[in-house]
A and B are shown apart, each in its own frame.
Chain A
């Protein structure tokens, strides 16, 4: 089988989506690890971001791959969604009670996540890299108007991450099936790890705007 055929067949596209999706889910774990320095304190968080920036060129390579993964994952997702709509003559004619809503809504939740990522990059990432204006990293996140100083930003962040968790609830299980892990001796390990990625890690992300955006101001 040629590589073109592999990457453009229905099964091949799903394999690509599963691999890129899982790599992005792994990336989220590292990202959360860094973000949790916010709870340690201003100095710790700023020092952490400075360390990252010292890696310079390596960070740019990692960013290139992240954009590539999100792009190819979303591109395949949309293509499959279009193909699948065409294949079904009457779109509503299937048994919804046997099709979990996380699976039904994957293209929708993915699209919201995509919009979120686009704003995330054009605000946080842009500010951190090019537009600090003398603010500390910690201040940008916790107080500025692109960060959780704005209730609108906090609320959108919470909703988008919750939907990402929902996307991954289906996505992780689906990737296990797509990559043929189901039915092997690794299945139970995989299933046990799944909840870390679709529930606990998104919950960790959500704790940040909940605390810095709202609770800290009330208490």
Chain B
């Protein structure tokens, strides 16, 4: 198959950036989208031109490295699929395909399609952890967890931190990501002890990093490759409300 690519080329965040057109011919429809970009880059290198920068690592949909906009949609047209798991057969012969980076003030462009998502790491490190003693592994069955909670926590933990939710959102809000992390931990007994502080700290970091505010449009869940649900955002809000109520009851420096 043949495809007509338009790719956003930008040297760094301070550069202006433009769209450049590329044409690839005789592409096997069964290769992955990133392999198609590999072919383009090999061609560009041979022509002594600058290859297109894009992020990827596992190429099996589990690490969260890959991700850019394809025809205006994060990770492309296929539901619940990271771009590394997308294949050229999802497109038609002679299709025009537009590639742009995830657009958000909190995701500065590193180069071309590659953006800096360290703001997500800072949200995680402000509260997305549990404090436990190190040493021997604890007895596995000493804390019993109801299956429903374990299943829900597992669904939330499926978030790979790719940033598609921010890119899909008209407000560049990081609520889906943050709420998946908050939910994952607050659904489990190990995470509940630090729960109240966690949600306050993670929301504060999310705001400091310049992400927008959630207006419950639902676009994030529709585009999330791991189908993280809106229920996570409701859970974050519940945690936040109970965290602030308990803050009023507690004395300062108590």
Contacts and interface: CB of A to CB of B under 8 A. Distances in A.
Interface string A24-42: 0000000000000000000
Contacts of B210: 86-87
A12 to B, nearest CB: 7
Using C-beta atoms within 8 Å of the partner chain, give the interface range for chain B.
35 or more
A6 B244 contact: yes
A183 B187 CA distance: 13
B211 interface: yes
Contacts of B223: 95, 98
B216 interface: yes
B42 interface: no
A11 B237 contact: yes
A148 B38 CA distance: 68
Contact of A94 (B170, B206, B244): B170
Contacts of B72: 93, 95
Interface in A172-217: 173-174, 176-184
Given A1-B243, A88-B103, A95 B200 contact: no
Given A87-B173, A93-B103, A103-B215, A11 B234 contact: no
A93 B237 contact: no
Contacts of A13: 213
Interface string B163-175: 0000111111100
B73 interface: yes
A103 to B, nearest CB: 4
B100 interface: yes
A215 B74 CA distance: 51
Nearest to A177: B216
Interface in B200-222: 200, 203-204, 206-207, 210-219, 222
Contact of A9 (B106, B207, B216): B207
B234 A9 contact: no
B105 A104 contact: no
A27 to B, nearest CB: 22
B247 interface: yes
A136 to B, nearest CB: 44
Contact of A177 (B73, B74, B173, B234): B234
Contact of A98 (B203, B212, B218): B218
B67 to A, nearest CB: 14
B173 A84 contact: yes
A87 B171 contact: yes
Contacts of B211: 10, 87
B54 interface: no
B231 interface: yes
A98 B103 CA distance: 17
A84 B207 contact: no
A99 interface: yes
B231 A179 contact: no
Given A9-B203, A11-B237, A182-B231, A99 B217 contact: yes
A95 B219 CA distance: 7
Contacts of A179: 237, 241
Given A12-B244, A93-B69, A182-B230, A84 B172 contact: yes
B212 A177 contact: no
A89 B216 contact: no
A104 B170 contact: yes
A1 B247 contact: yes
Contacts of A182: 230-231, 234
21 contacts: A1-B243, A2-B247, A9-B203, A10-B203, A14-B215, A15-B237, A15-B241, A80-B215, A87-B210, A88-B104, A88-B171, A94-B170, A94-B219, A95-B74, A95-B219, A98-B223, A100-B217, A174-B216, A176-B234, A178-B216, A183-B234
Nearest 6 Cβ contacts at the A-B interface: A180-B238, A87-B212, A84-B171, A84-B212, A10-B213, A1-B247
Given A83-B213, A88-B105, A183-B231, 4 more contacts: A2-B247, A84-B171, A93-B100, A94-B167
Interface of B: 69, 72-74, 100, 103-106, 167-173, 200, 203-204, 206-207, 210-219, 222-223, 230-231, 233-238, 240-241, 243-244, 247-248
